[in-house]
């Protein structure tokens, strides 16, 4: 599988200012990734660095602003740090003498996946930090000792595992023929396929199946050229109805967005939630992970709203992009994109928040299948 950042194991570096986060990131990656300074507030926006840990897999480090940053931008920086925590598969907390033991115990209780690090072991202060927090058995790191890098990697390998997930699950088997209907309209990026399409094609090939791609206009010609019927057809969700009408009804049909909703979301909750459209839903939030400017054929800004307004009277639609996911309690329904740019942890944090606030939440592909009357006929 291609190691996109959203599919990497995410490690977020937390701690007070000057606790050694940035120095550790430079040390562990053996590169000058973060600026290191004794001045408070050096790290502003979270800094990302991807790498591969041998015998573990692809990871993504986030270096964040210190929790006791007292600069003028403190609140904005801390807010970004909190957003980053929501994406963390693992938190690396860097201890300092300014930390209180009770606060550290609270963190240990709140976060299941957290490693406490007593860095600066090349300095006198490092041993004092370890002694203060010895009861929680922090990992000692000496930045002048290259062996401690391997000690950290061994800790990751022994305590954690990257789940080997599949996008197509049991829908695709060895020797299957899979037809991909990939529209190249104004919304499609020039000279390339979008991430869900690339990841799906790669997985089909890895399963020793055959992937054939076409567009909607050439779909019938492609089907007629086969010696056998495709075992599965995967389409862009916006063409669900058109593709369904062309296909033999014995051919399995799904979409990239639907596959991704099951790959990193809660497909059962999405299906349950979409039915709320027929129960008086009035205020809807359409939340898109990508930040490309909306265009005339945009699926989230144009096509889905148009279809919603065609089917339901007096609905009000608002939009959000990227990490913007605030004040969701004012909505009757949230419709999220396939979220291919978010990692699974962050998608599930959003779903968790929606459930806590009793807000139904669904997905582009599920909505389009439902509005076209074929939700029960597609494969999940």
229 with 342, same domain: the answer is: no
Pairing between strand 47-53 and 57-63?
antiparallel
Mean pLDDT of 125-149: 95
Question: With 90 as the cut, is the pLDDT of residue 41 above it?
Answer: no
Answer yes or no: is 244 within a domain.
yes
- Produce one character per residue of 160-195: b if its CB has 16 or more CB atoms within 10 Å, e if not: beeeeeebbeebbeeebbbbbbbbeeebbeeeebbb
Answer yes or no: is 165 within a domain.
no
Question: With 50 as the cut, is the pLDDT of residue 177 above it?
Answer: yes
Token pair recorded at residue 229: 């019927």
Q: Give the domain extent around 343.
A: 266-377
pTM attached to this predicted model: 0.82
Of 130, 159, 188, the domain-final residue: 159
Of 94, 125, 159, the domain-final residue: 159
181 with 42, same domain: the answer is: no
Give whichever of 14-28, 64-78, 188-202 has the largest mean pLDDT.
Answer: 14-28
Give the span between the Cα atoms of 224 and 351, in whole angstroms.
42
Mean pLDDT of 89-96: 96
117 with 137, same domain: the answer is: yes
Residue 296 pLDDT grade (very low, low, confident, very high; cuts 50, 70, 90): low
pLDDT digits (tens, 9 = 90+) for 240-265: 999 999 999 999 999 999 999 999 99
Token pair recorded at residue 75: 């609140």
Query: Any idea what the CATH number is for the domain that residue 228 is in?
Result: 3.40.50.11420
Mean pLDDT of 25-49: 70
What is each CA distance from 68 to 15, 18, 179, 316, in whole angstroms? 8, 10, 54, 41
Confidence (pLDDT) at 1:
46
Query: What is the distance, to the nearest Å, from the Cα of residue 307 to the centroid of all Cα atoms in its chain?
Result: 27
Residue 69 pLDDT grade (very low, low, confident, very high; cuts 50, 70, 90): low
Indicate the number of domains in the chain.
Answer: 3
Answer yes or no: is 358 within a domain.
yes
Answer yes or no: is 169 within a domain.
no
Residue 9 burial by Cβ neighbours in a 10 Å radius (0-12, 13-18, 19+) = buried
Q: Name the least confident of 29-33, 139-143, 264-268.
A: 29-33
138 with 30, same domain: the answer is: yes
């Amino acid at each position: 599988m291609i190691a996109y950042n959203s599919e990497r194991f995410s490690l977020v570096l937390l701690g007070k200012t000057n606790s050694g986060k940035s120095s550790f990131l430079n040390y562990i990656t053996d590169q000058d990734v973060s600026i290191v300074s004794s001045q408070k507030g050096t790290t502003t926006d979270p800094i990302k660095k991807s790498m591969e840990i041998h015998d573990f897999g692809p990871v993504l480090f986030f270096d964040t602003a210190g929790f006791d940053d007292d600069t003028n931008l403190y609140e904005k920086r801390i807010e970004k740090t909190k957003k980053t925590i929501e994406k963390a598969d693992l938190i690396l907390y860097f201890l300092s003498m300014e930390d209180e033991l009770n606060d550290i115990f609270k963190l240990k209780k709140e976060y299941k996946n957290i490693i406490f690090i007593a860095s600066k072991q090349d300095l006198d202060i490092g041993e004092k930090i370890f002694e203060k927090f010895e009861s929680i058995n922090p990992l000692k790191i000496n930045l002048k000792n290259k062996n401690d890098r391997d000690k950290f990697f061994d800790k990751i390998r022994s305590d954690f595992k990257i789940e080997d997930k599949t996008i197509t699950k049991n829908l695709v088997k060895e020797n299957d023929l899979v037809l991909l209907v990939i529209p190249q309209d104004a919304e499609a990026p020039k000279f390339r396929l979008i991430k869900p399409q690339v990841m799906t094609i790669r997985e089909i090939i890895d399963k020793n199946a055959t992937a054939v791609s076409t567009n909607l206009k050439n779909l019938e010609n492609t089907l007629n050229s086969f010696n056998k019927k495709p075992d599965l057809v995967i389409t862009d969700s916006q063409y669900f109805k058109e593709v369904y009408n062309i296909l033999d009804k014995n051919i399995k049909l799904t979409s990239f967005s639907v596959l991704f909703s099951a790959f990193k979301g809660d497909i059962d909750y999405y299906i349950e939630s979409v039915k709320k459209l027929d129960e008086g839903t009035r205020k809807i939030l359409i939340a898109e992970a990508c930040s490309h400017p909306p265009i005339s054929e945009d699926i989230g800004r144009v096509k889905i709203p148009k279809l919603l307004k065609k089917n339901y009277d007096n609905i009000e639609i608002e939009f959000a992009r990227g990490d913007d996911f605030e004040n969701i309690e004012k909505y009757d329904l949230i419709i999220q994109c396939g979220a291919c740019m978010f990692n699974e942890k962050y998608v599930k944090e959003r779903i968790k928040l929606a459930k806590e606030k009793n807000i139904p939440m669904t997905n582009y592909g599920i909505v389009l299948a439902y509005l076209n009357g074929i939700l029960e006929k597609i494969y999940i």
